[in-house]
Structure 1
Amino acid sequence: GAMYYGLNDLSNNMILLDRKQSRCPNGLVFGTPGSGKSMSCKREITYVMLTTKDNVIICDPEDEYSPLVNRLGGQVIRLSPNSRDYVNPLDINLNYSEEENPLTLKSDFVLSFCELIMGSKTGLEAIEKTVIDRAVQMIYQPYFADPRPENMPVLGDLLDALMAQGIPEAERVAQALDLYVNGSLNFFNHRTTVDIRNRLVCFDIKGLGKNLKKPGMLIVQDAVWNTVTINRAIGRSTWYFVDEFHLLLKEEQTAAYSAEIWKRFRKWGGIPTGATQNPKDLLSSPEIENILENSDFIYLLNLSAGDRKLMTERLNISAEQLAYVTNADPGSGLLFFQNVILPFRDEFPKDTELYKLLTTKPSEVAHDGESR
């Protein structure tokens, strides 16, 4: 059903929308720091949790969502070198539809992952792609023959399957992968130890540091895809919120993979929302066309002068409409939904328990003895 997205600034009526009913439920949220970006995502997450049976997954680069997730009974997964929460990037789910071979998609992911960790500006060479794909086909055979959790491959198996090919190209990929298997980043070389079946899962990737944030986000995206395929089989929707979305569009591999998800999610009952305070980076990505084209829900909060200019060109906003995202109060702005543009504001009552869970204003965040 429809959910609340603020008050219409012109008529004072409540804005009630059902993103699932749109041609393309994917969404984007833009706004400067302090404009109410995480707040609006958290409000939507709360509504989804309280009014539907859907799943929600959050990729949280700044550890802003855990108080709310804990209060709603969700599972927070901390991905970092000193955490004991493990997520296996090679997890695969066999519930794919007839037309999709699970290995094709998994191979896509592993190629993106290898390309990212090899850090080559020109991308993978044809032979490197071949040896990776060959290794992927190999390592899943035992699991397909006998799908028990202990037969699920890990990155170490991928490394072995590369080395076994005994050719320099395979060895080169293996050398890059070694850091993630035997080196200091080997926490990605474990079978999954956390329950990803909770209806609400938050991946806190703040502890991943600069170098690992992009591979981390890629792994989270793949875990989301796994959940989407499981849910599709039982007719349940999966909402996916990714904060600092511009980070994913900065690298060619993660950008291509994200655009692919944006296009593919819809068929599978997935509803992704990308939020960013950095529209400039987002809009300069070559993949942004695909993403904008496949997003019927755009929530614009307060924007800086430079971003307003970019947005005006991109979304054909008039000067009158532009006024609503110029020095806007937190929680106010413009909402694009299908073919409608509405000015909105959201004056959330501050004396509620929910407000305390939603806010990220440093002065208002309750420090209940948590180390943050």
Structure 2
Amino acid sequence: TAIFVPFTTQELFDNGKESLYYGLNALSNNLIMVDRKKLKNPNGLILGTPGSGKSFSAKREICNAFLVTDDDILVCDPESEYAPLVERLHGQVIHISPSSTQYINPMDINTNYSEEDNPLALKADFILSLCELVVGGKEGLKPVEKTVIDRCVHKIYAPYFEHPCPETVPMLEDLYNALLTQDEPEAHHVAAALEIYVKGSLNIFNHRTNVDIDNRIVCYDIKQLGKQLKKLGMLIVQDQVWGRVTANRSVGKSTRYYADEFHLLLKDEQTAAYSVEIWKRFRKWGGIPTALTQNVKDLLASPEVSNIFENSDFVYMLNQANGDRQILAKQLNISPHQLSYVTHSGEGEGLLFFGNVILPFVDHFPKDLELYRILTTRLSEVVEAKHE
């Protein structure tokens, strides 16, 4: 019996009604079925080199969560990979690009936006992050610039909090105009940097939201934004997701959020700080965020960002590059034997960290299914599916 059933293996099988499938145990071939909501901290990371199956794993979890749970599902999609699945599930795909007529307003807010008495403090934090990206430069925003932005934010949101309705939500142009009325030259410097996003060729974020962001599954497709706008788009999507999480919390609903190419948000200090803050807050508000990234070095470049690692009890680790393997082994206390499961491993093979359990998994998805054709991002297979 011991030959056929290795007694030394650990199993992960939870038959709760919201347990999802994550592959087969590589040692015993038993199913891995777990519910991330039962973790102390359900935040998750999906790590792996390009082509190791990160996006596929995320889409498979999205599909299972859609069918098994009642959770809302939101996706930030910088590479336009999730639209076929979301459309098949009758979700809303929002294409955000300079030529699109679908808009989301970065200034959107709701009265549940923060648990403190003043929801504006967190929104001001987001707008500072946004202005930091816009103004750019290695130094980021100067203290005086932060002060004038904060002052203007309080001024432009005053009408909304007097009469909360969609018509009184400010737009980027209101911030721009408020900055121009200030005496400080720093205010005019920030306004000048904002001008291209308000009146110039990049004014896509100076419109009121005109899409159905209340669908159960929403995909924000930002591939067409180009390098200059992509980070800005990701930050704005993250803020939109936060708005949804706060609204869902008041009705007792969980919200799953998937952020692909997450390392793009971690390169600027202010956007990294805002992302870490959101990561910490999500859990308390019934949010289940999952970040996908291939550059673990970026993820651990600053102590602030390593908080994301420490605040994630679910890590789905696929094949790793050599430099990243050493960093992860040290960070997660992985033994040399366990490390072999993410060394030159095939697609859909790796290590699953679930709370205190580390388990090697295999997930070879059948390629003859219609679902596989919807989930795959391999170019040759995508082209082939289109011709069929």
**TM (normalized to structure 2)?**
0.93
**Counterpart of 1:95?**
112
Which amino acid in the other structure matches residue 192 of structure 1?
T
Can you list the C-alpha shifts for 1:278-328, whole angstroms capped at 9, x where unaligned? 222222233232111100000110112222122112111111101111111
The residue that corresponds to 2:273 in the other structure is: 256
The correspondence for 1:117, drawn from 123, 134, 145, is 134
Partners of 2:298 and 2:320 lie apart in 1 by: 14
In 2, distance between residues paired with 1:124 and 1:95?
A: 28
Aligned with 2:41 (options 24, 34, 39):
24
Contact 1:87 1:192 in 2 (8 A): yes
- Are residues 1:307 and 2:324 paired? yes
- CA deviations on 1:65-110 (whole Å, 9 max, x unpaired) are 1000100111111111011110000000112465252111110000
The answer (yes or no) to whether the contact 1:249–1:285 under 8 Å persists in 2 is no
Within 2, Cα distance between the matches of 1:358 and 1:98?
37
Matched, 1:276 2:303: no
Corresponding residue to 1:134 among 148, 151, 158:
151
Q: In the aligned structure 1, how far is the partner of 2:182 from the partner of 2:314? A: 47
Answer yes or no: is 1:298 the counterpart of 2:315.
yes
Partner of 2:79: 62
Question: Closer, same or farther in 2 for the Cα pair 1:251/1:98, shift >3 Å?
Answer: closer
Which residue of 177, 191, 196 corresponds with 2:213? 196
Contact 2:59 2:375 in 1 (8 A): yes
Query: Do the aligned partners of 1:356 and 1:366 also contact (CA within 8 Å) in 2?
Result: no
Matches within 5 A, 1:172-251: 172-251=189-268
| Aligned-partner residue type, residue 157 of structure 1 | D
Alignment correspondent of 1:351 = 368
Instruction: Give the Å deviation of 1:218.
Output: 0.6
Alpha-carbon distance between aligned partners in 1 of 2:312 and 2:296, rounded to the nearest angstrom: 15
In the TM superposition, residue 367 of structure 1 has moved relative to its aligned partner by 6.1
Aligned residues: 370
Unaligned 5+ segments in structure 2 are 1-17
Q: State the match for 2:10 in structure 1.
A: none
Question: Deviations 1:313-359 (Å, cap 9, x if unpaired)?
Answer: 21111111011111111101000111000000002121111111111
* SS of match in other structure, 1:365: helix
Q: For 2:360 and 2:262, locate their aligned partners in 1 and report how far apart those are by CA, in whole Å.
A: 24
Distance 1:90 1:367 in 2: 42
CA distance in 1, matches of 2:106, 2:86: 23
Distance 2:386 2:185 in 1: 53
Instruction: Specify the alignment match of 1:148 in structure 2.
Output: 165
Change (3 A) 1:19 1:304: same
> Does 2:62 align with 1:49?
no
Conserved? CA contact 1:37–1:301, under 8 Å? yes
| Whole-angstrom CA distance in 1 between matches of 2:147 and 2:327 | 40
1:74 counterpart = 2:86: no
2:307 is aligned with what amino acid? N
Tell me which residue corresponds to 1:320. 337
Stretch of structure 1 that moved more, 138-147 or 36-45: 138-147
Alignment partner of 1:150: what SS? helix
RMSD: 1.4
Partner-residue secondary structure (3-state), 2:348? coil
SS in 1 for 2:218: strand
How far 1:48 moved relative to its partner?
1.1
Are 1:341 and 2:364 matched, yes or no? no
Letter in 1 for 2:43: N
Alignment of 1:7 onto 2:37:
no
Name the aligned partner's letter for residue 227 of structure 1: R
CA contact (8 A) 2:41 2:313 kept: yes
The one-letter amino acid paired with 1:127 is: V
Distance in 2 separating the partners of 1:367 and 1:141:
54
